[in-house]
Structure 1
Amino acid sequence: MRQRLIPGTSGLVRTMSLLGDPVLHSPCPEVTRFGPDLDRLIEDMFATMYAAEGVGLAANQIGVAQRVFVYDCPDDEENRHVGHVVNPRLVAADGEEFLGPEGCLSLPGLEAGTVRFDHAVVEGVTSDGAPVRIAGTGFFARCLQHECDHLDGTVYADRVTGMRARRLRRAIRKAPWGTGAARG
């Protein structure tokens, strides 16, 4: 795939899967077919992430059960990290644990304090099959852990505990897209 200066510029914005969609709650299988379809998926993922004003997006968030995520995320020093990972594996999550605000494009408009490590390392491959290793700290480490969680069938709401979890569940029921809306 030719590298573009700005990923997503030729992609299509796809519909976001919302909390409760089964594709968000099951582990995604690894990508086995590389080529133009994967390149198109990644381009569409960038376009969708940018349109939703996110910093990361996993393939299952647009209904595609494949181990792929994209990111355009700053770290705590405001260094911008942009890229994608196919078949990512979180190989390290360590350092100090921090409680910080976390949101998700699949839970629009909501956020809750979530504990994450301040250092993370993800290994996988690019859309061309080249090995890639991405290390992040601070907010970028949170993003890497969040996106790997998605591909394992976990949303950040699953990690929220105590009073924060109760408040988040209440907010989800009240959200226009939430479980309360389905009950009328």
Structure 2
Amino acid sequence: MTRPILEMPDPALRAVCAPVTTFDADLADLTEEMFAAMYAAPGRGLAAPQIGVLSRVFVTDVTWKTGAGSPRVFINAEILHVDLALAVNEESCLSIPRITVAVPRPRTVRMRWQDLQGVFHAEAFADSAAVIVQHERDHLDGILCTDYATLP
């Protein structure tokens, strides 16, 4: 059974999540549950607090709706650098159904994170991938896309 995705105003969605310190089978199981919930929703990203787990974990699959999938796991992700140029994108959130908001975000970001074995990685993200990783990373600090929404 797929874990339900929490919706606003659930307080877990506003929590600051704890860093992951144990890289084990339970963590791998959590990410598999997160992918199952994300695909069932259907979304392109999901953060652990969205299923009630207050850990610094999120998953993405930026391309599965338009082609071959690209599932990725991000643990203890941190943003190292952001582009000063912003782009406004229409964002929606699985935890705030039926609402889309215009959100200004950096066009590119460079992030560092750990994988399921605890190995560190760093990479730059652009375009829709940049939007998705920023959106999911925000969830780990209790920030929602509606917090950035521009007014008409």
Once the two structures are overlaid, the 10-residue window that deviates more, 139-148 or 127-136, is: 127-136
Runs (4 or more) in structure 1 with deviation over 3 Å come to 78-81
Question: TM (normalized to structure 2)?
Answer: 0.91
Contact 1:85-1:132 at 8 Å conserved across structures: no
Once the two structures are overlaid, the 10-residue window that deviates more, 48-57 or 129-138, is: 129-138
Matches within 5 A, 1:1-184: 12-74=1-63, 81-163=70-152
1:117: Cα distance to partner?
A: 1.1
Distance 1:48 1:64, change over 3 A: same
Structure showing greater radius of gyration is 1
Amino acid at match of 1:114: V
Aligned counterparts of 1:135 and 1:71: Cα–Cα separation in 2: 15
Aligned residue pairs, count: 149
Q: Percent identity?
A: 36
| Per-residue Cα deviation, 1:105-160 (whole angstroms, up to 9, x for no partner) | 00112111111111012211111111122321011100011011100110000111
Greater RCO structure (CA 8 Å; 6+ sep): 2
Give the alignment's Cα RMSD to 1 decimal. 1.6
Q: Which has the higher strand share?
A: 2
Question: TM (normalized to structure 1)?
Answer: 0.76
Q: Which blocks of at least 5 consecutive residues in structure 1 are unaligned? A: 1-11, 164-184
Q: Which blocks of at least 5 consecutive residues in structure 2 are unaligned? A: none
In structure 2, the residue corresponding to 1:65 is in which secondary structure?
A: coil
1:79: Cα distance to partner?
A: 8.6
Contact 2:104-2:150 at 8 Å conserved across structures: no
1:162: Cα distance to partner?
A: 2.4
